[in-house]
Amino acid sequence: QSVLTQPPSVSGTPGQRVTISCSGSSSNIGSDYVYWYQQVPGAAPKLLIYRSNQRPSGVPDRFSGSKSATSASLAIRGLRSEDEADYYCATWDDSLSAYVFGTGTRVTVL
Amino acid sequence: EVQLVESGGGLVQPGGSLRLSCAASGFTFSSYIMNWVRQAPGKGLEWLSYISSSSKTIYSADSVKGRFTISRDNAKNSLYLQMNSLRDDDTAVYYCARFSGSGTSYRDLDYWGQGTLVIVSS
């Protein structure tokens, strides 16, 4: 049972903007950066956002991250078919002394 | 090019043991914190364990504490996960992954291996 809660699924049509929320607490999101990973079925996860709002080189600027208090969000604008994947937030939890992943969100492009 | 290649997965009976390896190349392995993460079939990602560059600091998830042990051999550029007392619910793909740097600002898992499948079944 994860300490970071995400909606199970989000969907949108091509070109739309969708957002994925990640809710935590003061011991995790409230005290550390948030990271986002994208996982296409059958593949290893890939880093999408680091330090809450930074994109690694090669990640399109359609992806953006934000954090406020004990919650974080990932936004995808200009949704494309290749964005269909599972998305996970993650951070360090000081109380657990553990790295924690969110429950994961499946993005579907209609 | 950074590469992480896991090996050692396979079919094992409940109660059995298995040792996973992760061969690293393309970077100075001895300078990086490494982790193991797993994913059960159809489930989400679960972090398992962290080992500092010098092996001095180790953290593990409660779900595997006392059963799984992370270790590394910097001379061999290799990371290991010794798994004992395996249970059915340990069936998963196991990934090794690197933190991008040391310090609290570098807890992004920037490189992942392709994963190795462990099946625990009688």
| pLDDT (tens digit per residue) in B28-52 | 999 999 999 999 999 999 999 999 9
Of residues A32, A45, A50, nearest to B45 (C-beta): A45
Measured distance CA(B2)–CA(A18) in Å, rounded: 32
* A3 has a pLDDT exceeding 80: yes
- Judging contacts by C-beta atoms under 8 Å, the chain B residues touching residue A99 are 35, 47, 50, 59, 107
Task: Among B4, B60, B108, B117, pick the best mutation site for testing chain A contact (most A Cβ within 10 A).
Answer: B108
Question: Which segments within chain B are labelled E, that is strand?
Answer: 3-7, 10-12, 18-25, 34-39, 45-51, 58-60, 68-73, 78-83, 92-99, 109-112, 116-120
Measured distance CA(A98)–CA(A100) in Å, rounded: 6
% of chain A residues with pLDDT over 70: 100
Of residues A88, A98, A102, nearest to B59 (C-beta): A98
Find the closest chain B residue to A103 by CA distance: B44
Nearest chain B Cα distance for residue A87, angstroms: 10
Measured distance CA(A102)–CA(A110) in Å, rounded: 24
Average pLDDT, chain B: 97
A90 and B110 within 8 Å at the Cβ level: the answer is no
- Judging contacts by C-beta atoms under 8 Å, the chain B residues touching residue A46 are 112
What pLDDT score was predicted for residue B103?
A: 84
B85: enclosing H helix or E strand:
none
If we measure between CA atoms, which residue out of B8, B44, B39, B30 comes closest to residue B98?
B30
